[in-house]
């Protein structure tokens, strides 16, 4: 299973879903590159606010913000496609009569794509957390739009980003970790919409993936084979991603004593890594999980994440 998660090829039975998900995943690197190169319009916005009656400053700020808003729309639309891809994978990896472990062994190429979605999601959110300009740019855009509606200024961009789209984007970017939030909601919806499917099919799939990643990270014979730090980071991100999804869909969450995920072991593995590599992941466990602060969470586990 561990080997398969690294270099699986789709079987005939997996091909259709694999192709659908692959068409989304192929764009993930360009999304990350786009986010990485995001240079906000902070200076132009400050100049415009400080010189409210200077038309040149107003136009410069507006012309700087509009292309950025189009970029933000691209990321948001990608999250919608990612959500659909995740839904398709969950449908395949949880359907009866197979157990989650049998699914992960039988459909290794799909399990790998599931891991790749989580890997992308955590990388996207780690980057987004470091770019406060995103929310500043977007709120300036919305303020200007509403002001200019009153002034009847011609706004071509509204054909690209109408009010409904802007509202959805606002909610998306208001989240500390918007992509993870999207996937958590998608997984929760998947469970509530498939009432005939036992909840364990979904939670066991997630906990199995978490333990595969943990074993890979804590066992020297596996981790010494990692060709690069990238593989290590891949494993850590996937582990944290499935923990967060599990915590959202399991009624008691991931942190209780009865959880099928060894949270103490998972956190320990993360804390053994250089802090620069895991700070974002530990923050995701702190701020994007649902049950960490519940009474049922053992004190020692809460203390590990302080």
What are the pLDDT digits (tens) for 146-182?
887 656 555 678 778 988 999 999 999 999 899 999 9
Q: What's the confidence (pLDDT) of residue 1?
A: 54
Q: What's the confidence (pLDDT) of residue 231?
A: 83
Q: What's the confidence (pLDDT) of residue 15?
A: 95
Q: What's the confidence (pLDDT) of residue 173?
A: 97
Residue 226 to residues 27, 38, 110, 179: CA-CA distances in angstroms? 25, 31, 21, 27
Helix (H), strand (E) counts: the chain: 16, 0
What are the E-state strand segments in the chain? Answer: none
Q: What's the confidence (pLDDT) of residue 148?
A: 75
pTM of the model: 0.91
Dist CA 164 CA 108 (whole Å): 39
- Which residues of the chain register pLDDT less than 70? 1-6, 149-155, 225-228
Q: What's the confidence (pLDDT) of residue 4?
A: 56
Q: What's the confidence (pLDDT) of residue 158?
A: 76
Q: What's the confidence (pLDDT) of residue 232?
A: 87
3-state DSSP assignment of residue 177: coil
Q: Taking Cα atoms as reference points, which of 295, 18, 112, 6 lies closest to residue 104?
A: 112
């Amino acid at each position: 299973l561990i080997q398969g998660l690294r270099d699986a090829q789709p079987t005939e039975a997996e091909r259709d879903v694999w192709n659908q998900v692959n068409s989304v995943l192929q764009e993930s690197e360009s999304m990350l590159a786009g986010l990485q190169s995001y240079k906000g319009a902070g200076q132009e916005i400050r100049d415009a606010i400080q010189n409210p009656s200077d038309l040149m400053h107003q136009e410069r700020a507006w012309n700087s913000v509009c292309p950025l808003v189009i970029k933000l729309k691209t990321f948001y639309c990608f999250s919608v496609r990612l959500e659909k891809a995740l839904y398709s994978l969950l449908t395949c990896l949880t359907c009866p009569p197979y157990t989650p472990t049998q699914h992960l062994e039988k459909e290794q190429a799909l399990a790998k794509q599931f891991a790749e979605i989580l890997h992308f999601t955590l990388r996207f959110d780690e980057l987004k957390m470091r770019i406060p300009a995103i929310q500043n740019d977007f709120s300036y855009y919305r303020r200007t739009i509403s002001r200019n509606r009153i002034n009847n200024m011609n706004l071509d961009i509204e054909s690209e980003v109408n009010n409904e789209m802007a509202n959805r984007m606002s909610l998306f970017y208001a989240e500390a970790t918007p992509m993870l939030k999207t996937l958590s909601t998608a997984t929760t919806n998947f469970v509530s919409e498939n009432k005939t499917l036992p909840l364990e099919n979904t939670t066991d799939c997630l906990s199995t993936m978490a333990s595969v990643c943990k074993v890979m990270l804590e066992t020297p014979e596996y981790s010494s084979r990692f060709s690069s730090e990238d593989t290590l980071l891949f494993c850590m991100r996937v582990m944290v991603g499935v923990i967060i999804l599990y915590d959202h869909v399991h009624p008691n969450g991931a942190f209780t004593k009865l959880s099928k995920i060894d949270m103490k072991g998972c956190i320990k593995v993360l804390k053994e890594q250089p802090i620069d590599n895991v700070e974002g992941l530990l923050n995701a466990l702190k701020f994007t999980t649902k049950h960490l602060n519940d009474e049922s969470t053992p004190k020692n586990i809460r203390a590990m994440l302080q």
